[in-house]
Structure 1
Amino acid sequence: MFQTAIRRSLRSALIALASLGALGASAAAIDVAGVKLDDGIELRGSKLQLNGAGIRYKTILKVYTAGLYLGNKVGTTEEVLAAAGPKRLTITLLRDIDANEFGKLFLRGVEDNSPRNEFGQLVPGLLRMGQLFADQKQLKAGDTFTVDWVPGTGTVITVKGAVQGESIKEQAFFNALLRIWLGPNPADWKLKDALLGKPT
């Protein structure tokens, strides 16, 4: 009787430890320039995993960290764009920056990486995004924003924890944003490799 009770207690303790281990694994994070990025997140009921993360440099200056979350890990731009389900790109600034200037860099990044025949249909979304950044005035080191693709909803942009306006329905717009970092003329080649999970 006594041994049975001990065995039950041990079993309960092992189950509790296993649960704690599972919680620890799900809460695991990587450090990118002092910014903690979770290995996995949940977006609108879907579990996503960190595909890759890195730092955007301008000359030798660190500008921001970026992390790409997908349902399954992939290694090419084409696979990222074709991946089904929700997706997230998260950016955390490492220095203060003029938000209007940041918006202009986004616009240039889309222009440099989008097929000419697609660019015209992207303009309304890009104008809205440019206005969104202009309204922010200044982005500070530590500020975070996310660009989410949610099937059935569209592109949802969140700045400093607040959703910005209506979603943009066309997937072509979200793909155009991703090409800023993953396209043929990315903002930073090392960051592109990092987001695709390649060693840098």
Structure 2
Amino acid sequence: MTRHALLGLFLVFLFVTPVVAGTLAGVTLPDTLDINGQQMVLNGLALRKKVIFKVYVAGLYLPAKENNSEKILAADGPRCTVMHFVRSVDAGKINEAWFDGLEANTPDHSPELKKQFDTLASLMEDLKDGEKLVFTYQPGVGTEVKIKGTIKGTLGDKAFADALFSCWIGKKPGPGEKFKKGLLGL
């Protein structure tokens, strides 16, 4: 090949952005999701581990990439977290994590917010390897809770969404700083 042909190929590969889904721990999540007609991009992926066990892979979807958690939580825009479980976890353990996250990141929460977390806990089910929890916040609508592909309900307002998403990207993320950085694409 001539130098010009090689340069041309190099430039083609330099400016072509392949559409590749994000993969972590054997779990692949799509680069984009369509949420009520709005394209959301995969902001980042993270693996939740407990001691040495892989628990779930999470993907955070936003209207546009953002690596600042404070900006994400301050914006009243749509957001979605997909939790793809890679081991079985009972509902009680999942609920424990929600309440720990609420206390750690929203210590002065209102009784109404606690009540919404109680409702979330009442919806929770045991999850097995390959099953998903999906939380989609829509401004003015609330946070849709989808468990194993079935919509279980829509909860709260922006305050609930902020408290829930803070469990992963708040000041004290339950799964840890490395997990938070993964969701933020850092």
TM-score by length of 1: 0.80
- Which consecutive segments of 4 or more residues in structure 1 shift more than 4 A? none
- Match of 1:97, SS state, is coil
Matches within 5 A, 1:9-20: none
- Match of 1:142, SS state, is coil
- Residue 84 of structure 1: how far off its partner (Å): 4.1
Gaps of 5+ in 1: 1-20
Deviations 1:31-60 (A, max 9, x none): 111111111111011111011111011122
- 1:97 matched to 2:84? The reply is no
Percent identical pairs in the alignment equals: 35
Amino acid at match of 1:176: A
User: For the pair shown, which has the larger CA radius of gyration, 1 or 2?
Assistant: 1
| Pair 193,90 (structure 1): closer, same or farther in 2 beyond 3 Å | same
* Higher-helix-fraction structure: 1
Deviations 1:112-152 (A, max 9, x none): 11141x3433111111011111xx2x210111010100122
Aligned to 1:180: 167
- Residue 105 of structure 1: how far off its partner (Å): 1.5
Deviations 1:159-181 (A, max 9, x none): 0110013x123110010001111
- C-alpha contact (below 8 Å) 1:158/1:164 kept by paired residues: yes
Amino acid at match of 1:103: N
Matches within 5 A, 1:126-141: 126-133=117-124, 136=125, 138-141=126-129
Aligned to 1:171: 158
TM-score by length of 2: 0.86
**Residues paired across the two proteins, number:** 170
Amino acid at match of 1:86: P
- Match of 2:104, SS state, is helix
Aligned to 1:107: 99
- 1:142 matched to 2:134? The reply is no
Within 2, Cα distance between the matches of 1:156 and 1:97? 21
Matches within 5 A, 1:67-78: 67-78=59-70
Aligned to 2:10: none
- C-alpha contact (below 8 Å) 1:111/1:119 kept by paired residues: no
Aligned to 1:197: 185
Amino acid at match of 2:139: P
Aligned to 1:7: none
